[in-house]
Amino acid sequence: MKGAFTNKRVLITGASGFIGSHLVKRMIEENAQVFIIARNGSDLWRIENLIKDTIIHKADIRDLDKVESCIKNIRPDYVFNMAAYGVDARQKDYFIAADTNIIGTMNILNSLIPLGCKKFINIGTCMEYGDKKDIIGEDCHLEPFNIYGSTKAAATMLSHQIAAENNIDIVTLRAFGVFGENEGSHKFFPHIILSLLNNTDVNLTGCEQYRDYCYIENIIDGLLLAALDVTVKNEIFNIGTGVIFQLKYYVDKIYKRMETSSKPNYGAVPYRSGEVWKPHPDINKIKSVLKWEPRIGFDEGLDRTIKWYEKNKDKYQ
């Protein structure tokens, strides 16, 4: 992939988020011209060392006029829509979710219609599928049961329809579990790692849920491959390792790597209502069409992640 994005005009929304910040870093390494749309007041701590190598446009993706003005000015070759509301389970406002995930996505696509672009890449979520008992293929019936899943599912359907009608190539990657550096402290891996680093109790549910956790840089690989493959015009791909384990498996991995004699407090936190128990992705499509495979194994990804939190735990005080 090296050189494929050199001097290409790449627009990233949601650049201040976990996945978006890793994408910004990779695109700078790829020598792309990186443009960011960020709201006034956005906390850009994840990309504070990268900002000098980007051009930031201040706008809220919910504001069509501002978005149109920005995109007309940027004229991007590639657009990566990583902005989302509701990834954090504490974000429950129905209207903000609909405005950000649905209207925001439509605003970006609508602004591209007169200009065109090489590819519009959208980040989706396994929450679009809901709680499935069987292995999940991309053609599974969507049964989201929270506002994040339902608005992301609606955004996927609308964006693919609008893109197809207006001859814009589009790919959505539906991510399952993702972990890595600079994730929010409320998320599963950082919660455990930071608690151990700070010698505080690790309070968890029973951790009997199954998850497929894939290291963040593998997800970024998938985004870049989806952008560059000119044969892929209008596709949805699951992305994950394709293997699921109970959450206890990941807890044990973290504890072993951090060489601690303490024990997690299983059952200290109740299971959420509407818990997802066994999201198991079928990843054959992305492997066969995009030739994507997880490049970095779980243990190496975990090692990188823990080392990063050890060096950066002060960012979470």
Q: For each of the chain's 317 residues, which pLDDT tens digit applies?
A: 678 999 999 999 999 999 999 999 999 999 999 999 999 989 999 999 999 999 999 999 999 999 999 999 999 999 999 999 988 777 889 999 999 999 999 999 999 999 999 999 999 999 999 999 999 999 999 999 899 999 999 999 999 999 999 999 999 999 999 999 999 999 999 999 999 999 999 999 999 999 999 999 999 999 999 999 999 999 999 999 999 999 999 999 999 999 999 999 999 999 988 889 999 999 999 999 999 999 999 999 999 999 999 999 999 98
317 burial class (0-12, 13-18, 19+ CB within 10 angstroms)? exposed
pLDDT at res. 198: 95
Q: How far is it, in rounded angstroms, from Cα 24 to Cα 82?
A: 11
Residue in 8, 70, 64 with CA at minimum distance from that of residue 37? 70
Hey, what are 222's tokens?
């998938």
Quote the CATH superfamily of domain 9-179+214-241+282-296. NAD(P)-binding Rossmann-like Domain (3.40.50.720)
> Would you report the helix, strand and coil content of the chain in percent, each value rounded to 5?
40, 15, 40
Domains in the chain: boundaries: 9-179+214-241+282-296, 188-210+244-279+305-316
Q: Which CATH architecture has domain 188-210+244-279+305-316?
A: Alpha-Beta Complex (3.90)
- Measured CA to CA, the distance from residue 240 to residue 229 in angstroms comes to 19
Within 10 A of 32 (CB to CB), how many other CB atoms are there? Answer: 22
Give CA angle at 81 (29, 280), nearest 5°. 95
Do 188-210+244-279+305-316 and 9-179+214-241+282-296 have the same topology in CATH?
no
